[in-house]
Structure 1
Protein backbone atom coordinates (compact mmCIF):
# COMPACT_ATOMS: atom_id res chain seq x y z
CA UNK A 1 0.00 0.00 0.00
CA UNK A 2 2.76 2.42 0.95
CA UNK A 3 4.66 1.85 -2.30
CA UNK A 4 1.51 2.58 -4.32
CA UNK A 5 0.90 5.82 -2.42
CA UNK A 6 4.56 6.83 -2.82
CA UNK A 7 4.41 6.10 -6.54
CA UNK A 8 1.21 8.14 -6.97
CA UNK A 9 2.63 11.07 -4.99
CA UNK A 10 5.84 10.94 -7.00
CA UNK A 11 3.82 11.01 -10.23
CA UNK A 12 1.86 14.02 -8.98
CA UNK A 13 5.07 15.81 -7.99
CA UNK A 14 6.70 15.00 -11.34
CA UNK A 15 3.64 16.41 -13.07
CA UNK A 16 3.93 19.46 -10.78
CA UNK A 17 7.52 19.94 -11.93
CA UNK A 18 6.42 19.85 -15.56
CA UNK A 19 3.46 22.14 -14.84
CA UNK A 20 5.64 24.74 -13.11
CA UNK A 21 7.98 24.64 -16.10
CA UNK A 22 5.14 26.04 -18.22
CA UNK A 23 5.38 29.32 -16.26
CA UNK A 24 9.10 29.63 -16.84
CA UNK A 25 10.84 31.68 -18.15
CA UNK A 26 9.42 35.04 -17.20
CA UNK A 27 10.75 38.50 -17.87
CA UNK A 28 11.97 40.72 -15.06
CA UNK A 29 12.74 44.03 -16.72
CA UNK A 30 15.01 43.13 -19.61
CA UNK A 31 16.20 39.91 -18.02
CA UNK A 32 14.76 36.49 -18.70
CA UNK A 33 14.57 34.57 -15.42
CA UNK A 34 14.13 30.80 -15.27
CA UNK A 35 12.65 29.02 -12.28
CA UNK A 36 12.86 25.25 -12.26
CA UNK A 37 11.20 23.52 -9.31
CA UNK A 38 12.51 20.14 -8.24
CA UNK A 39 9.54 18.83 -6.27
CA UNK A 40 10.17 15.22 -7.25
CA UNK A 41 13.86 15.35 -6.38
CA UNK A 42 13.16 16.90 -2.97
CA UNK A 43 10.52 14.22 -2.33
CA UNK A 44 12.92 11.43 -3.26
CA UNK A 45 15.68 12.94 -1.11
CA UNK A 46 13.34 13.23 1.86
CA UNK A 47 12.15 9.66 1.30
CA UNK A 48 15.70 8.46 1.88
CA UNK A 49 15.51 9.93 5.40
CA UNK A 50 11.90 9.32 6.42
CA UNK A 51 10.97 6.13 4.59
CA UNK A 52 13.88 4.00 3.38
CA UNK A 53 17.05 4.65 1.34
CA UNK A 54 16.51 1.56 -0.82
CA UNK A 55 12.94 2.58 -1.69
CA UNK A 56 14.21 6.07 -2.41
CA UNK A 57 16.93 4.68 -4.70
CA UNK A 58 14.37 2.54 -6.52
CA UNK A 59 12.12 5.53 -7.17
CA UNK A 60 15.15 7.61 -8.17
CA UNK A 61 15.91 5.04 -10.87
CA UNK A 62 12.29 4.75 -12.03
CA UNK A 63 11.60 8.47 -12.19
CA UNK A 64 15.08 9.27 -13.46
CA UNK A 65 14.39 7.01 -16.43
CA UNK A 66 10.97 8.63 -16.94
CA UNK A 67 12.48 12.12 -16.92
CA UNK A 68 15.27 11.01 -19.26
CA UNK A 69 12.69 9.62 -21.67
CA UNK A 70 10.52 12.74 -21.36
CA UNK A 71 13.39 15.16 -21.96
CA UNK A 72 14.91 12.93 -24.63
CA UNK A 73 18.19 14.84 -24.80
CA UNK A 74 20.78 12.63 -23.12
CA UNK A 75 19.68 9.37 -21.58
CA UNK A 76 21.02 8.53 -18.15
CA UNK A 77 21.79 12.05 -16.92
CA UNK A 78 18.77 12.30 -14.63
CA UNK A 79 18.84 8.64 -13.63
CA UNK A 80 22.47 8.69 -12.57
CA UNK A 81 22.09 12.12 -10.95
CA UNK A 82 19.07 11.18 -8.87
CA UNK A 83 20.63 7.96 -7.60
CA UNK A 84 23.92 9.72 -6.82
CA UNK A 85 22.17 12.51 -4.94
CA UNK A 86 20.06 10.02 -2.96
CA UNK A 87 23.36 8.41 -1.95
CA UNK A 88 24.74 11.85 -0.96
CA UNK A 89 21.60 12.54 1.08
CA UNK A 90 21.82 9.21 2.86
CA UNK A 91 25.50 9.83 3.61
CA UNK A 92 24.84 13.37 4.87
CA UNK A 93 22.12 12.18 7.21
CA UNK A 94 24.35 9.83 9.06
CA UNK A 95 25.73 13.10 10.46
CA UNK A 96 22.61 15.32 10.63
CA UNK A 97 20.03 12.72 11.61
CA UNK A 98 16.55 14.27 11.38
CA UNK A 99 17.53 17.81 12.38
CA UNK A 100 14.95 19.81 10.41
CA UNK A 101 17.08 22.89 9.71
CA UNK A 102 20.11 20.86 8.65
CA UNK A 103 17.91 18.57 6.58
CA UNK A 104 16.26 21.49 4.82
CA UNK A 105 19.64 23.02 4.12
CA UNK A 106 21.07 19.76 2.78
CA UNK A 107 18.02 19.10 0.58
CA UNK A 108 18.15 22.60 -0.89
CA UNK A 109 21.90 22.45 -1.48
CA UNK A 110 21.60 19.03 -3.13
CA UNK A 111 18.71 20.31 -5.25
CA UNK A 112 20.84 23.26 -6.40
CA UNK A 113 23.82 20.98 -7.06
CA UNK A 114 21.64 18.53 -9.00
CA UNK A 115 20.40 21.35 -11.22
CA UNK A 116 24.01 22.54 -11.66
CA UNK A 117 25.06 18.96 -12.47
CA UNK A 118 22.46 18.70 -15.24
CA UNK A 119 23.45 22.15 -16.53
CA UNK A 120 27.15 21.22 -16.62
CA UNK A 121 26.53 17.94 -18.46
CA UNK A 122 24.35 19.69 -21.03
CA UNK A 123 26.90 22.51 -21.34
CA UNK A 124 29.78 20.07 -21.90
CA UNK A 125 27.74 18.34 -24.61
CA UNK A 126 26.90 21.69 -26.21
CA UNK A 127 23.15 21.46 -25.61
CA UNK A 128 23.11 24.61 -23.45
CA UNK A 129 24.89 27.84 -24.32
CA UNK A 130 24.00 29.87 -21.23
CA UNK A 131 27.18 31.23 -19.57
CA UNK A 132 27.92 30.02 -16.04
CA UNK A 133 27.36 33.41 -14.35
CA UNK A 134 24.05 33.84 -16.19
CA UNK A 135 23.07 30.34 -15.13
CA UNK A 136 23.76 31.10 -11.48
CA UNK A 137 22.08 34.53 -11.52
CA UNK A 138 19.14 33.84 -13.83
CA UNK A 139 18.36 30.19 -13.19
CA UNK A 140 20.25 28.74 -10.22
CA UNK A 141 19.38 31.27 -7.53
CA UNK A 142 15.75 31.89 -8.61
CA UNK A 143 15.20 28.13 -8.70
CA UNK A 144 16.80 27.80 -5.27
CA UNK A 145 14.44 30.44 -3.86
CA UNK A 146 11.41 28.74 -5.44
CA UNK A 147 12.51 25.33 -4.14
CA UNK A 148 13.00 26.80 -0.66
CA UNK A 149 9.40 28.02 -0.73
CA UNK A 150 8.11 24.67 -2.01
CA UNK A 151 10.21 22.64 0.44
CA UNK A 152 7.64 22.92 3.25
CA UNK A 153 4.90 21.51 1.02
CA UNK A 154 7.09 18.61 -0.11
CA UNK A 155 8.18 17.99 3.50
CA UNK A 156 4.55 17.72 4.65
CA UNK A 157 3.72 15.40 1.74
CA UNK A 158 6.69 13.20 2.63
CA UNK A 159 5.69 13.00 6.29
CA UNK A 160 2.10 12.10 5.40
CA UNK A 161 3.29 9.51 2.90
CA UNK A 162 5.69 7.95 5.41
CA UNK A 163 2.80 7.31 7.80
CA UNK A 164 0.77 5.26 5.32
CA UNK A 165 0.42 1.66 6.46
CA UNK A 166 2.51 -0.91 4.67
CA UNK A 167 -0.34 -3.39 4.32
CA UNK A 168 -3.79 -2.85 2.88
CA UNK A 169 -5.49 -5.29 5.24
CA UNK A 170 -4.93 -5.18 9.00
CA UNK A 171 -3.25 -8.20 10.59
CA UNK A 172 -5.20 -10.14 13.23
Structure 2
Protein backbone atom coordinates (compact mmCIF):
# COMPACT_ATOMS: atom_id res chain seq x y z
CA UNK A 1 0.00 0.00 0.00
CA UNK A 2 1.30 3.41 -1.00
CA UNK A 3 0.32 6.89 0.15
CA UNK A 4 0.39 9.67 -2.42
CA UNK A 5 0.30 13.31 -1.39
CA UNK A 6 1.25 16.79 -2.43
CA UNK A 7 0.48 20.43 -1.77
CA UNK A 8 1.90 22.31 -4.76
CA UNK A 9 0.48 22.79 -8.23
CA UNK A 10 -2.60 21.03 -9.56
CA UNK A 11 -2.74 18.44 -6.80
CA UNK A 12 -5.49 16.29 -8.37
CA UNK A 13 -3.67 16.18 -11.72
CA UNK A 14 -0.39 15.26 -10.03
CA UNK A 15 -2.08 12.45 -8.08
CA UNK A 16 -3.65 11.18 -11.32
CA UNK A 17 -0.25 11.24 -13.04
CA UNK A 18 1.33 9.42 -10.09
CA UNK A 19 -1.39 6.73 -10.16
CA UNK A 20 -0.88 6.23 -13.88
CA UNK A 21 2.89 5.91 -13.52
CA UNK A 22 2.62 3.58 -10.54
CA UNK A 23 0.22 1.34 -12.48
CA UNK A 24 2.66 1.25 -15.41
CA UNK A 25 5.90 0.80 -13.46
CA UNK A 26 4.96 -0.97 -10.20
CA UNK A 27 1.85 -2.90 -11.20
CA UNK A 28 -1.90 -2.62 -11.63
CA UNK A 29 -3.79 -0.67 -9.00
CA UNK A 30 -6.21 -2.93 -7.16
CA UNK A 31 -7.61 -0.36 -4.74
CA UNK A 32 -7.69 3.44 -4.81
CA UNK A 33 -9.06 5.64 -2.02
CA UNK A 34 -10.85 8.88 -2.62
CA UNK A 35 -8.73 12.04 -2.48
CA UNK A 36 -8.50 13.66 0.95
CA UNK A 37 -7.63 17.31 1.49
CA UNK A 38 -5.72 17.74 4.73
CA UNK A 39 -3.77 20.39 6.58
CA UNK A 40 0.03 20.10 6.56
CA UNK A 41 1.44 17.89 9.31
CA UNK A 42 4.61 18.64 11.26
CA UNK A 43 7.01 21.58 11.27
CA UNK A 44 7.59 23.34 7.96
CA UNK A 45 10.56 25.42 6.86
CA UNK A 46 10.34 29.10 7.85
CA UNK A 47 8.66 31.26 5.28
CA UNK A 48 6.98 28.42 3.38
CA UNK A 49 3.30 29.05 2.79
CA UNK A 50 1.56 25.92 3.99
CA UNK A 51 -0.96 24.90 1.38
CA UNK A 52 -3.38 22.05 2.15
CA UNK A 53 -2.27 18.62 0.99
CA UNK A 54 -4.24 16.22 -1.14
CA UNK A 55 -3.63 12.61 -0.10
CA UNK A 56 -4.69 9.25 -1.48
CA UNK A 57 -3.89 5.62 -0.69
CA UNK A 58 -3.47 2.96 -3.38
CA UNK A 59 -2.80 -0.76 -3.40
CA UNK A 60 -0.81 -2.09 -6.34
CA UNK A 61 -0.15 -5.68 -7.32
CA UNK A 62 3.56 -6.16 -7.94
CA UNK A 63 6.32 -8.71 -8.31
CA UNK A 64 8.93 -6.05 -7.49
CA UNK A 65 10.87 -6.31 -4.24
CA UNK A 66 10.24 -3.56 -1.67
CA UNK A 67 13.48 -1.67 -2.41
CA UNK A 68 12.73 -1.88 -6.14
CA UNK A 69 9.34 -0.30 -5.45
CA UNK A 70 11.14 2.42 -3.48
CA UNK A 71 13.46 3.11 -6.43
CA UNK A 72 10.50 3.28 -8.80
CA UNK A 73 8.42 5.64 -6.67
CA UNK A 74 11.40 7.93 -6.08
CA UNK A 75 11.88 8.11 -9.86
CA UNK A 76 8.18 8.92 -10.27
CA UNK A 77 8.53 11.68 -7.66
CA UNK A 78 11.43 13.20 -9.63
CA UNK A 79 9.50 12.94 -12.91
CA UNK A 80 6.58 14.78 -11.30
CA UNK A 81 8.72 17.67 -10.08
CA UNK A 82 9.90 16.72 -6.64
CA UNK A 83 13.53 17.73 -6.15
CA UNK A 84 16.05 15.43 -4.49
CA UNK A 85 15.56 15.72 -0.76
CA UNK A 86 17.41 14.89 2.40
CA UNK A 87 15.84 15.04 5.85
CA UNK A 88 16.25 18.40 7.57
CA UNK A 89 16.07 19.01 11.32
CA UNK A 90 15.48 22.11 13.43
CA UNK A 91 17.48 23.31 16.43
CA UNK A 92 15.40 21.17 18.81
CA UNK A 93 15.86 18.06 16.65
CA UNK A 94 12.40 18.18 15.08
CA UNK A 95 12.02 17.12 11.46
CA UNK A 96 11.48 20.04 9.09
CA UNK A 97 9.18 19.46 6.12
CA UNK A 98 8.90 21.33 2.83
CA UNK A 99 6.03 21.86 0.41
CA UNK A 100 6.13 19.48 -2.54
CA UNK A 101 4.32 18.53 -5.71
CA UNK A 102 4.34 14.83 -4.80
CA UNK A 103 5.38 12.54 -2.01
CA UNK A 104 4.92 8.79 -2.33
CA UNK A 105 5.44 6.62 0.74
CA UNK A 106 5.36 2.86 1.12
CA UNK A 107 2.96 2.33 4.01
CA UNK A 108 2.83 -1.46 3.86
CA UNK A 109 4.25 -4.25 1.72
CA UNK A 110 2.00 -7.26 2.24
CA UNK A 111 2.47 -8.11 5.92
CA UNK A 112 6.24 -7.66 5.90
CA UNK A 113 8.21 -5.74 8.48
CA UNK A 114 11.26 -4.18 6.83
CA UNK A 115 13.92 -2.23 8.72
CA UNK A 116 16.85 -1.28 6.52
CA UNK A 117 18.81 1.94 6.24
CA UNK A 118 16.84 2.93 3.13
CA UNK A 119 13.41 1.56 3.93
CA UNK A 120 11.21 1.09 6.97
CA UNK A 121 7.90 -0.71 6.47
CA UNK A 122 5.32 -0.32 7.90
CA UNK A 123 5.93 3.40 7.65
CA UNK A 124 7.24 4.32 11.12
CA UNK A 125 4.91 7.30 11.70
CA UNK A 126 1.82 5.81 10.05
CA UNK A 127 -0.20 5.49 13.27
CA UNK A 128 0.44 9.17 14.14
CA UNK A 129 -0.82 10.49 10.83
CA UNK A 130 -4.54 10.66 10.30
CA UNK A 131 -3.89 11.91 6.74
CA UNK A 132 -2.33 8.50 5.98
CA UNK A 133 -4.52 6.34 8.19
CA UNK A 134 -7.89 7.57 6.93
CA UNK A 135 -7.40 6.77 3.21
CA UNK A 136 -5.65 3.50 4.09
CA UNK A 137 -8.53 2.46 6.36
CA UNK A 138 -11.02 3.40 3.63
CA UNK A 139 -9.61 0.87 1.15
CA UNK A 140 -8.33 -1.85 3.52
CA UNK A 141 -10.28 -1.54 6.80
CA UNK A 142 -9.66 -5.16 7.79
CA UNK A 143 -5.91 -5.11 7.05
CA UNK A 144 -3.99 -5.84 10.25
CA UNK A 145 -0.98 -3.60 10.85
CA UNK A 146 1.89 -6.11 11.10
CA UNK A 147 3.63 -4.28 13.95
CA UNK A 148 0.66 -3.07 15.99
CA UNK A 149 -1.51 -6.18 15.40
CA UNK A 150 -4.66 -4.09 15.02
CA UNK A 151 -6.86 -3.54 11.96
CA UNK A 152 -6.69 -0.22 10.16
CA UNK A 153 -10.36 0.40 10.97
CA UNK A 154 -9.74 -0.21 14.68
CA UNK A 155 -6.63 1.97 14.61
CA UNK A 156 -8.48 4.76 12.81
CA UNK A 157 -11.38 4.58 15.28
CA UNK A 158 -9.03 4.63 18.27
CA UNK A 159 -7.33 7.78 16.97
CA UNK A 160 -10.67 9.46 16.29
CA UNK A 161 -11.70 8.68 19.86
CA UNK A 162 -8.41 10.07 21.15
CA UNK A 163 -6.95 6.85 22.53
CA UNK A 164 -3.18 6.90 22.89
CA UNK A 165 -1.17 4.51 20.76
Q: TM-score, normalised by structure 1?
A: 0.27
Q: Which has the larger radius of gyration?
A: 1
Of the two structures, which has the highest relative contact order with CA contacts closer than 8 Å and spacing of 6 or more? 1
Q: TM-score, normalised by structure 2?
A: 0.27
Structure with more of its chain in strand, by fraction: 2
